């Protein structure tokens, strides 16, 4: 009996060894009952040693999957809070000093529900006291289904909405030019930490800074002392320092105004402005601070300047696929969020309706449309363009996911 058992055991070993090392002994479905066959068919019984486990969905991806088209389009806009007041005209909304909304009311709540924007940008006319500002921002965030970007131009120096107010006890900086003259990037980092810290305290999460432009043209009327200086490498070092400081304080950064507003004479707030340099010339000067910080910054703001010796389309950079998709995304490899400069500025608003400008910007590769002259017209224009197949919903999803990923990175979702 023992001899027979040993023979049977040896035979079984021979049968098993004839199977390849990678082969699974899988039951034949024909020999199983129907219920067992169904169970097997619903399970992946193949084995691939090199396969990568399926990555779990991020919060941003989950949120995007559940969004309506209307909600997605809303995320593409950062607007003035005044644009939520239906009784204000575009001229009143975009006035830099008058008709400022300073508290969130029922009318604004209704507008925010209908047009669920991605963020708001506050100006001096929206700010009176620390208590008012903190409450205002808190109330807007409370009523937004998705946390808002709450941004401000707080550069330090003449463009500082809070530091320019006498009602706020904050450290003030004379200018970024003065910081640049120190030659010490630690001073620029201190600017970022200081400004970022007080912005964070009031409820902001995004500073439209630092200015990465080089002050290369003495006739420039818009940049000047807002720039760290006229040396590309110095400006690059200072910009990187300020970004590090903003990040240390938990604040998002936005370098501006790509591809460089320093060598211009005009003001895009009032109309057409161009730069005559070629791309190769910009890469040796104006682009250096931008390129140096593309991997660090959270956003890049595109100027409305036209570059006829770079783009054949002769469009403002903010509407140019050649500049955005071809140069910034393609050649320079930037993968983060791209935002326009204010779309209410004359370089855009004098040439295009708000809806036309918004649609052109998105088709060019923009992710966020900043402060269109007429927000509702811009929003409706994008919605209609998607419905008519001019812009695909996949294109919308691409930008919205970038936006939500950034919000998730800063723990806003």
pLDDT at position 223 is 82
Distance CA 180, CA 106 (A): 46
- Strand-strand pairing, 206-207 and 77-79: unpaired
Give the three-class secondary structure for 253: coil
Q: CA torsion, points 305, 308, 314, 316, in degrees to nearest 10?
A: -10
Distance CA 118, CA 132 (A): 22
Instruction: Report cis status (omega within 30 of 0) of the bond before 259.
Output: yes
Q: Return the CATH number at 368.
A: 3.20.20.300
Instruction: Indicate the DSSP class of residue 105.
Output: -
Q: Looking at the DSSP assignment, which residues form a beta bridge with residue 73?
A: none
Instruction: Indicate the DSSP class of residue 125.
Output: G
Retrieve residue 87's tokens. Answer: 């009784």
Q: Please, how many CA atoms are within 13 Å of residue 287, restricted to the half-sphere of its CB?
A: 17
Query: What does the DSSP assignment read for 38-58?
Result: HHHHTS-----TTPPPPPPPP
Distance CA 131, CA 41 (A): 63
Is residue 53 situated within a structural domain? no
pLDDT at position 15 is 39
Q: Model pTM?
A: 0.84
Instruction: Indicate the DSSP class of residue 368.
Output: B
Neighbours of 98 (CB within 10 A): 9
Compute the C-alpha angle 41/46/50, nearest 5°: 145
Burial of 58: CB neighbours in 10 Å, binned 0-12, 13-18, 19+: middle
Instruction: Indicate the DSSP class of residue 27.
Output: P
**What are the φ and ψ backbone dihedral angles of 368, each rounded to 5 degrees?**
-125, 130
Retrieve residue 267's tokens. Answer: 């003001």
Instruction: Indicate the DSSP class of residue 85.
Output: -
Range of the domain at 231: 75-409
Distance CA 61, CA 152 (A): 27
Is residue 384 situated within a structural domain? yes
Q: How far is CA 184 from CA 230, 289, 293, 397, in A?
A: 15, 16, 17, 42
Distance CA 134, CA 127 (A): 10
pLDDT at position 197 is 98
Q: Provide the residue-wise pLDDT of the chain in tens; the chain has 413 residues.
A: 444 444 444 444 343 344 333 333 233 333 333 333 333 333 333 334 455 566 788 999 999 999 999 999 999 999 999 999 999 999 999 998 888 999 999 999 999 999 999 999 999 999 999 999 999 999 999 999 999 999 999 999 999 999 999 999 999 999 999 999 999 999 999 999 999 999 999 999 999 999 999 997 767 657 889 999 999 999 999 999 999 999 999 999 999 999 986 666 555 555 567 888 999 999 999 999 999 999 999 999 999 999 999 999 999 999 999 999 999 999 999 999 999 999 999 889 999 999 999 999 999 999 999 999 999 999 999 999 999 999 999 999 999 999 999 999 999 99
Instruction: Give the end-to-end CA distance of the chain in Å, rounded to a whole number.
Output: 72
Domain count, the chain: 1
Which residues have C-beta within 8 Å of that of residue 71, sequence separation ≥ 6? Answer: 116, 145, 146
Q: Which residues are catalytic?
A: 269, 341
pLDDT at position 14 is 40
Is residue 154 situated within a structural domain? yes
Q: How far is CA 359 from CA 335, 353, 392, in A?
A: 21, 10, 11
Distance CA 113, CA 288 (A): 42
Is residue 36 situated within a structural domain? no
Retrieve residue 316's tokens. Answer: 């403002």
Is residue 37 situated within a structural domain? no
Give the three-class secondary structure for 268: coil
Instruction: Indicate the DSSP class of residue 206.
Output: E
Is residue 21 situated within a structural domain? no
Is residue 348 situated within a structural domain? yes
């Amino acid at each position: 009996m023992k001899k027979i058992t040993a023979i049977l055991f040896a035979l079984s070993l021979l049968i098993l060894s004839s199977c390849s090392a990678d082969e699974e002994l899988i039951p034949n479905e024909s020999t199983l009952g129907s219920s067992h066959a169904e169970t097997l068919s619903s399970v992946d019984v193949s084995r691939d040693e090199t396969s990568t486990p399926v990555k779990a969905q991020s919060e941003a991806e989950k949120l995007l999957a559940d969004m309506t088209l209307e909600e997605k389009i809303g995320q593409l806009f950062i607007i003035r809070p005044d644009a939520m007041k239906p009784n204000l005209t575009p001229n009143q909304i975009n006035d830099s000093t008058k008709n400022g909304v300073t508290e969130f009311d029922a009318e604004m709540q209704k507008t925010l529900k209908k047009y669920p924007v991605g963020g708001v940008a506050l100006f001096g006319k929206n700010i009176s006291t620390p208590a008012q500002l903190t409450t205002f921002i808190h109330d807007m965030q409370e009523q937004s289904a998705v946390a808002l970007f709450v941004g401000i131009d707080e550069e330090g120096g003449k463009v500082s909405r809070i530091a320019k107010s006498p009602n706020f006890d904050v450290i003030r900086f004379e200018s970024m030019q003065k910081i640049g003259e120190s030659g010490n990037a630690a001073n620029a980092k201190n600017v970022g930490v200081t400004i970022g810290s007080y912005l964070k305290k009031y409820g902001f999460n995004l500073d439209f800074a630092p200015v990465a432009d080089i002050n290369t043209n003495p006739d420039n009327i818009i940049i000047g002392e807002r720039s760290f200086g006229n040396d590309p490498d110095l400006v690059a070092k200072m910009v990187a320092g300020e970004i590090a400081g903003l990040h240390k304080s938990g604040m998002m950064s936005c370098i501006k105004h790509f591809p460089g507003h320093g060598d211009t004479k005009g003001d895009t707030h009032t109309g057409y402005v161009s730069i005559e340099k070629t791309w190769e010339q910009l890469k040796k000067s104006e682009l250096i601070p931008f390129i140096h910080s593309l991997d660090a910054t959270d956003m890049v703001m595109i100027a409305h300047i036209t570059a006829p010796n770079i783009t054949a389309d002769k469009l403002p950079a903010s509407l140019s696929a050649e500049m955005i998709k071809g140069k910034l995304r393609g050649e320079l490899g930037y993968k983060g969020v791209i935002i326009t400069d204010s779309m209410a500025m004359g370089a855009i608003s004098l040439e295009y309706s708000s809806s036309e400008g918004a649609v052109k910007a998105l088709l060019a590769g923009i992710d966020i449309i900043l402060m269109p002259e007429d927000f509702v017209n811009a929003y409706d224009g994008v919605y209609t363009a998607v419905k008519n197949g001019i812009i695909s919903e996949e294109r919308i999803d691409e930008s919205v996911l970038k936006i939500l990923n950034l919000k998730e990175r800063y723990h806003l979702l």
